[in-house]
A and B are shown apart, each in its own frame.
Chain A
Amino acid sequence: MTERITKNMARNIYFGGGLFAILVFTGLTFDTVKQIPKLSHDDQITESVALGKKVWENNNCVGCHTIMGEGAYYAPELGNAFPRLGGNDEAVFKTYLASWMAAQPLEAPDRRKMPQFHLTPEQVNNLADFLIWTSRVNNQEWPPNIKG
């Protein structure tokens, strides 16, 4: 089949196809950027949510956990931590998270260990707000069930 294709034809497919792909992808990018604020409830990003994201990043949480399915697969998904661990109740979730963070690392021999991050109560509160906001992002109903 390739005998009938000349080098010039192949080059034209590259330039034409490549340009077409770039244009399509760029167009979709602009549309996506326009839609994300609504899908993710951008207006609900409070200062605490933003600070919570920084806590998430500065402690490299994604090095063990996934969030909306992305990250490392060593520890549980946290995009739905709020419904799974807090039963969609903000006060319950915040109490749970504070005691969980304080208890690390758990004294269970050879269980996978979570380090002690020495977060301040305020940082834990920010982190909780960030995870609560994340759980409300419209992401096509993923994960399939509450277990994450």
Chain B
Amino acid sequence: MKYSSQMVAKPYFIFALILLAGEIVFGLAMGTQYLYGDFLFPAIPFNVLRMVHTNLLIVLLLFGFMGATYYLIPEESERELWSPMLAKLTFWIFAAAGVATILGYLFVPYATLAESLANSFWPTMGREFLEQPTLTKVGIVVVVLSYILNVTMTVIKGRKTTISVILLTGLFGLAFFFLFAFYVPTNLAMDKFFWWFVVHLWVEGTWELILGALLAFVLIKTTGVDREHIDKWLYLIIAMTLISGLAGTGHHFFYIGTPGYWLWIGSIASAAEPIPFFLMILFAYNMAKNRRIQHDNKIALTWAKGTAVVGFLGAGVWGFLHTLAPINYYTHGTQLTAAHGHLAFFGAYVMICFTMISYAMPILRGRPHGNGPKSQKVELASFWMMVLGMIGLTLALTVAGIMQIEMQRLPDAAHAVGFMETQAAISKVYMVRLAFGVMVLLGLLTYFYSFFVKEEKAAA
């Protein structure tokens, strides 16, 4: 570790991993409720489980990005963080607010939350992924602004690199588009249109800039390839992200009361959305091939390559499957959407957090060359358990989606099967999905175990 202020990243990483465990546990609970409707009901109804599941994901990724940034920025800027104190303080504020919100979801009826916490004054609740009470949303804004201030000041006062500037651009974008979470028009069609400004322009826009920057950083560190080369790739990737991803938002504007031209624009633009993810694969493998150094932290590079590959599969391939309007007409709002969502979020964003943690955590724990071989072996096993578990889960949901489309969507009104009957017919597939979910949890537990593996002392 070159700068002592990089240490502030550590609690962010640890907390992100704890939240990930929570997210998976709630996912398993939902998977069980899919099969046995009485499970946990009425104590925790499905909408509460789902809200906790998805909100934990969002918050854990924010913690992951913050930790990654606080580790990366001092090294890129070649100076200490502008204010380590502020970073530590916002960690506790964000963690406390996050935990309080989750506890609120679990123990207070949602309608009661909606009457309090500033929501009756400025209502923003009850929209998918943006269920947080208005007060929590304001808290997120405050935390993110203080984070961006800290990073910006560090970058301004230090060395400016392509990586740090692109990362910062992504962060400003993240903050800007979150503001649409505060705009809830009475017209549902308008509401949906601007809701996507947060959701799509985060995950298929600004977050990809952050992802690209983090990936580039780890590749520089683990392969020793020169910056000139890495920067060029990074620019190409994010150029394609913006060119395809912005108008690509249109693939959400097919059937929600928006003008018909989106059917064409959304289809064409979003058909190009796999390109930046494909470039990331070429990027990661090219850099690994042309490496100048043999870094002992091999598992970090494995995670980096895995991020590119699984991100491409989840976001690129599974996204493309249903991104064309005539296909989406039948797939819209089915389990196929869930399949895509799971592998895309895991492959692109959860895995980039693992990549950063895998690279940085050993250094923060005083092991500049990475963890020992035994620990890395355990981590590699956990890598495959989680990746294969997620791919298995995604395939199961894909089969479920195809069955749903075949029974419920494709036939004419006289022959189509209703929603609940279709779901009953799919239940065996949901069993398979749940089993793969358990595998992901076991993978994460194995990953946790890798932190505690004892290495035999080297002879010299």
Contact = CB atoms under 8 A, between A and B. Distances in A.
Contact of B239 (A17, A24, A56, A111): A17
Interface residues of A, number: 75
Nearest to A50: B186
Interface string A34-54: 011101101001000110011
B263 interface: yes
A59 B115 CA distance: 11
Q: Which 8 A-B pairs have the closest CB atoms?
A: A63-B47, A57-B126, A69-B333, A142-B255, A10-B235, A58-B114, A14-B239, A40-B189
Given A14-B235, A35-B259, A109-B38, A67 B188 contact: yes
Contacts of A53: 186, 188, 191
A24 B247 contact: yes
A146 B34 CA distance: 24
Interface in A110-142: 110-117, 130, 133-134, 137-140, 142
Contacts of A114: 45
A54 B125 CA distance: 9
B46 A18 contact: no
Given A35-B259, A77-B419, A139-B256, A64 B249 contact: no
Contacts of A145: 409, 411-413, 416
B193 A134 contact: no
A144 B186 contact: no
Contact of A113 (B41, B192, B193, B335): B41
Given A76-B420, A113-B37, A145-B412, A57 B125 contact: yes
Contacts of A40: 187-190, 257
Interface of B: 33-38, 41-42, 45-48, 50-51, 110-111, 114-115, 123, 125-128, 131, 184, 186-193, 228, 231-233, 235-236, 238-240, 242-243, 245-247, 249-250, 253-263, 265, 282, 329-330, 332-335, 337-338, 408-413, 416-420, 423
Looking at chain B's contact residues, the main secondary structure is helix
A72 B338 CA distance: 9
A17 B250 CA distance: 17
Given A62-B126, A64-B46, A144-B329, 10 more contacts: A17-B239, A20-B243, A24-B247, A36-B190, A53-B186, A68-B255, A70-B128, A105-B42, A112-B33, A138-B257
Contact of B249 (A25, A42, A76, A77): A25
B236 A39 contact: no
Contacts of B254: 140, 142
Interface of A: 2, 5-7, 10-11, 13-14, 17-18, 20-22, 24-25, 28, 31-33, 35-37, 39-40, 42, 45, 49-50, 53-54, 56-64, 66-77, 105, 109-117, 130, 133-134, 137-140, 142-148
